[in-house]
Structure 1
Amino acid sequence: MSFLKKLFGGTGGGGESAQAAEPVDYKGFAIYPEPIKEGGVFRVSARIEKNIDGELRSQRLVRADTVNVKDDAMQAGVTKSKQVIDEQGDRLFDGPNA
């Protein structure tokens, strides 16, 4: 049951990943580093948001990368998000997962 709670947003053991981080502003985008605790490591993850034409758009970035320290995972999430923003810009919010 704990797996399902983690999968659908419950706090069963994964509460650390639910802590709100301060957003990092980058080129008009807001980057929220949200590492996911998996056992003894943290998966690199972040939420990228931008207000486009009065609508708040959001996209989640989840990487295969894992690190041992939460702060390192948060920094990596910001770094990877910046790379995606540089590559895709507003196109980040196009497509089926946007």
Structure 2
Amino acid sequence: MGWFSRLFGSKESPQEVIVEPIEYKGYLIYAEPIAEGGQYRIAGRITQGEGESMKTHRFIRSDLLGNQDDANELMLKKAQMLIDQMGETIFNK
């Protein structure tokens, strides 16, 4: 049955990947690129605080890159720039 499901695709849900955050100026940055047509879209989240007081800002950029490592690196740079420019206001809705 294994070859049959590989041939026609499997209905299994994708495995959840655990992302190690990068700490920057009191914020935690999680790179979570989205695979799209053989490329990776810049995406991730920035958090601050813990428990019920945790604030989260999620973002997706239009940038597409050829591999996941490059996407992670650019996401980190974009997130750091966002933190530098906006600070706490990134959590305002």
Structure 1 runs (4+) greater than 4 angstroms displaced: none
- 3-state SS in 1 of match to 2:49: strand
Task: Give the corresponding residue for 1:31.
Answer: 29
- 1:65-84 to 2 correspondences below 5 Å: 65-84=63-82
Task: Give the corresponding residue for 2:89.
Answer: 91
- 3-state SS in 1 of match to 2:42: strand
Q: CA deviation at 1:88?
A: 0.4
Segments of 5+ residues of structure 1 without an aligned counterpart are 1-10
Q: Which has the larger radius of gyration?
A: 2
TM-score (norm 1): 0.75
Taking the aligned partners of 1:27 and 1:61, their CA distance within structure 2 comes to: 19
Segments of 5+ residues of structure 2 without an aligned counterpart are 1-11
- 3-state SS in 2 of match to 1:22: coil
Q: CA deviation at 1:20?
A: 2.1
Taking the aligned partners of 1:31 and 1:92, their CA distance within structure 2 comes to: 13
- Alpha carbons 1:36, 1:45 under 8 Å: kept: yes
Q: CA deviation at 1:36?
A: 0.3
Q: CA deviation at 1:39?
A: 1.4
Figure out how many residues of one structure are paired with residues of the other and give that number: 81
Task: Give the corresponding residue for 2:4.
Answer: none
Q: CA deviation at 1:61?
A: 1.6
Task: Give the corresponding residue for 1:5.
Answer: none
